[in-house]
Chain A
Amino acid sequence: MAQTRYPKTPREEQPEASPATSPDERIDSAETGARGPFSRRQFLRGSAAAGAASAGLLSGILDDAEAQDEPGVAGPGAVDMAFKINGKAYVATLEPRVTLLDALRNHLDLTGAKKVCDRGTCGACTVLLNGDPVYACSVLAIEAQGSEVTTVEGIGSPANMHPIQQAFVDHDAQQCGFCTPGFVVASAALLNRHPNPDQDTVHRELGGNLCRCGTYAGIRAAVAQAAGGGTTNG
């Protein structure tokens, strides 16, 4: 029934893929009235895409729908998508069912985020979406359009490591290393929210990440070093 009322958006009518840039201030003012030291805007300051701090997850398809003055439907076949990842623009043609994690790893050559549980439990796929840590396995790629995505590749590079990455090296805070990118991203987000976290805060804020090798003590020490709080273990 609704398929006839709301026909699929013809592929050829889709606009040039470009991230939507309408800032949605409502979520900042209404939802994050007491957000603490971390702010999404602060995170994005200095970024070329500061105007893309969109809480509404907008897409080219939606822009098209708005032009038609009725909601559009994408898929189930592949549709053009545009992403802003680590400050760079990416485009891909993907089915709506593709998760952000699979888009990053299988289509955009960004394999830092790891696929472990694929059920929003282990944290190995953690990326930042507009500065907030999320499980990329539980976000659809099509939803992530219009948001600023930061993967571990965007946190730092081997030649120019983020302090938390250097701290992971200094404290040997990994064994097999497969959970490490997720921990690095979650730790970077933790330090954005809490520049000088106490141990309870570190436990709590990293509760969404699992390390089956059990290198938690090293990870906590790495966070402490990156926070400037010393280098003691535990």
Chain B
Amino acid sequence: MRAFEYSSPRTAEDAIRMLSAEGAVALAGGTDLLSLMKDGAAAPSRLVNLKAIPDLTGAHETDGGLHIGATTRLGPLGEHRVIRESFPAVAQAIAGVRSRQVLSMRTVGGDLLQRPRCWYFRAGFGLVPMHDGQSMAKTGDNRYHAIFGNAGDAVFVNPSSLAPPLIALGASATVLGPDGERTVRVEDLYRTPASSDESEFTLGAAEIVTGVTIPMRSSRNATYEIRNRKGFDWPLAAASVAASDGGARVVLGHAAPTPWMSAAAAGALAGGISEASAEAAGDAAVADAAALSGNGYKIQLARVAVKRAALAAM
């Protein structure tokens, strides 16, 4: 790990100023960032700890919904009354992080902004690893890579646990930066980079996510993850479903370079959730999936994840 400066401001505004330095990176739970730094996949010259900023932690109900501060840890959030009673899709996604240590450490903002698990990226070849003009992931071992949005050279998958349920529930994120605060839909935090020089996030320089807000709309919602092992690991496929009288939203995780919203699956659930519509939603979700050389099995997993998430929400 390269040496770096460390700062731990008490206010978000001070954090933004500290982050304006070249090479400065925000530190939250550290479960992802420190590993990236040890692997040489990240080498910030300054870390700005966000955990000592009181305004960024805790969850409380507002007129706009349940506001969750960015440095709220996943474990306590999963036990929050409103999350358990109204947003089981979030509680189930948190329960999927099967490490009590990570639940004690990882923050909401850090989960949303964790970097992909792609082994080419982690080994230092970049988010869009290229060799002789070809995608290393496409020509190499891509068993855990994208089945959607993979026509270009970026085929990593978004690793966030919370993005699928939060997007399904229509949550927004508050972003603070040198130019002030803005509010974006959670799905708009993400983009697919064209090259390794680009970010997979839409945040500008020295911008941080300060929190997310889940609107208090009544919905039947659930998350279903499919994983290799019962212990701590990232899922192979995940889906979140939120259905209300106004329609349904279906979001797949670990499927594409961004959290993947399936309008077709949502359409299949528009008339309500039943055994038949859940099955149809799973089929519709993967109708336009495209396997790489080694990840065809993920299409069936994604189909089943959508179906079971819908059934769990029924």
Contacts and interface: CB of A to CB of B under 8 A. Distances in A.
Interface string B63-81: 0000001001101110111
How big is chain B's contact interface, by range?
35 or more
B5 A74 contact: yes
B297 interface: no
A33 B49 contact: no
B117 to A, nearest CB: 11
B14 A57 contact: no
Given A36-B79, A143-B51, A75 B10 contact: no
B296 interface: no
A207 B10 contact: no
Given A31-B77, A118-B38, A123-B99, A96 B47 contact: yes
Given A74-B6, A97-B1, A140-B30, A134 B79 contact: no
Interface in A94-133: 95-97, 99, 118-121, 123, 126, 129, 132-133
Contacts of A189: 100
A123 B34 CA distance: 15
A129 B31 CA distance: 14
Q: Residue among A36, A56, A59 with the most chain B CB within 10 A?
A: A56
B21 interface: yes
Contact of B30 (A29, A35, A143, A186): A143
B57 interface: yes
Given A30-B59, A129-B104, A57 B49 contact: yes
A159 B269 CA distance: 63
A29 B72 CA distance: 12
Contact of B5 (A8, A58, A139, A205): A8
B100 A133 contact: yes
Q: Residue among B18, B34, B46 with the most chain A CB within 10 A?
A: B34
Contacts of B38: 118-119
Contacts of B39: 119
A49 to B, nearest CB: 18
B104 A73 contact: no
B52 A62 contact: yes
B77 A207 contact: no
A83 B81 CA distance: 34
A97 B2 contact: yes
Nearest to A66: B10
Contacts of A129: 104
Interface residues of A, number: 65
A83 to B, nearest CB: 15
A135 B31 contact: yes
A68 B5 CA distance: 18
Interface in A1-52: 1-3, 5-6, 8, 24, 26-27, 29-36
B25 to A, nearest CB: 13
Nearest to A128: B104
B244 interface: no
Contacts of A118: 38
Given A24-B54, A26-B54, A138 B30 contact: yes
Contacts of B101: 120, 123, 126, 133-135, 186, 208
A76 interface: yes
B20 interface: yes
B288 interface: no
Interface string B14-28: 110110111010010
Nearest to B21: A2
Contact of A35 (B20, B21, B45, B76): B76
Contact of B84 (A32, A34, A56, A95): A34
Interface of B: 1-10, 14-15, 17-18, 20-22, 24, 27, 29-32, 34-35, 37-39, 45-47, 49, 51-54, 57-60, 69, 72-73, 75-77, 79-81, 84, 95, 98-102, 104-105, 230-232
Smallest CB-CB A-B distances: 7 pairs: A30-B58, A208-B99, A2-B21, A96-B6, A207-B98, A76-B3, A132-B104
